[in-house]
A and B are shown apart, each in its own frame.
Chain A
Amino acid sequence: MKRLALSAVLGAVLMFAASDCASAQNTAPPGGAYQKVSALVALPDYLPGLGTLYVDPSTLPAGPFLAYDHAGALVSSIYMIPLKDMNAKKAFTGLKAAHANVDHVDIVYNAGHPGVAEPHYHMIVWYVSPARAALLSK
C-alpha cells in the first residue's frame, strides 16, 4: 500500500514536471538550453512571417526553432533541413517537439540566412490557425 502511494506521488510529480516543461515552452522565453536566435546570429529579434525564434544551439541546423508571436505565445516549431542533406538522403530522427496541439504544417523553401547560410527547407509545425499565422507578417 505504501509502495503504491509512493508510486502515485512519484507519478504525479513526474506528470507535473512534464506538464510544467510543456507549459514553459508555451510562452517566451522557453528556458532550458533554448537561446534567442537573434542573440546567436545576426538576425532581427522578430522575423516577419515567423515570429521570435529560440533554439537549442546543440540541435542546429535542424532545430526545433520555437517561434513566438508578439505577445510571447508559442505559434510553431520550425525544423530547418539543408537541401544538401536532403539530396544526400540524410535522416533526421528523434527531433524534439513542443507539446502543443498541431493545427497545420507548412514546408517552405528558404534561400538561406545567418545560422543556416545555405538553401534549405523550413518545415513549420503550426500550433495556430493559418489566419493567426498570417498575422505574424506584421
Chain B
Amino acid sequence: MTGQTLVGRLGRVTTRVRGGPLPGEVRLVVQGIPHYYIAYCGQALAVGEQVLVINNRGGRQLDVELWRQAGADDDLPLTD
C-alpha cells in the first residue's frame, strides 16, 4: 500500500474539520483495515460527513473534499 493508493478513496469525518489550516480526522478503509488520517479541507466539515481524498500530504495528512453521493451512505460503515 502506498500513499498514492489513498487518493480517490471515500472516507468519513471522525473529528470535525474546522476548515483552512485547522485539520480534522477522517477514517479510511484500505484493504479491509481502517486507517485514521489527519484531514484538511477548505470548508468546515462536521462529524459523519462523507469526504473524498484528493491529495496525500505525507506524514498521515490528507486533503479532502466534501462528497455528497445519493444512496452512497451505506458504502462505508463508520464503525467496524
Chains A and B bind each other: no
B residues contacting A by CB (< 8 A) are none
A residues contacting B by CB (< 8 A) are none
